[in-house]
Homo-oligomer: A and B are copies of this chain.
């Protein structure tokens, strides 16, 4: 993925906005700042991700956009390639985070701004995956975050993000096994 030749309305040096934004607003602003245009597929993808709380697969995203098209909510179909391309771009700009739960299928969800509350949708979390039924469950834990922040200073690298994944059996599956 290569960035466009130039950013026509490049406002990178404008005074930063401090008012809280939604994730979608921030995403559109950063895309524009980086010189990208607003295509139909990209816009629809942003709206879709903005609506979701937790991670979706590419197939799920494509299916939902396809449904919206059939339902008449969207003017034209969105090809799966555009979903891949859109996600790739959003991931590069760190606007979405990839989540791998171990089944070999990539999932993505909107990323929160680290150490900031500028984002009204902010909802940093991690995941629990049920290895029996595949249930994906988000959770957050303040003590864990603190341990990770402390750790980040100790490792000799520049840490830009982190993920924690818990494996196990959800309550239904735990009961079912008996």
Contact = CB atoms under 8 A, between A and B. Distances in A.
A151 B141 contact: yes
Interface in A137-161: 137, 139, 141, 143-144, 146-148, 150-152, 154-161
Contact of A157 (B146, B150, B174): B174
Nearest to A145: B147
A167 to B, nearest CB: 4
Interface residues of A, number: 38
Q: How many copies of this chain does one complex carry?
A: 2
Tell me if A's interface is mostly helix, strand, loop or mixed. Answer: mixed
A161 B169 CA distance: 10
B157 A166 contact: yes
B159 A168 contact: yes
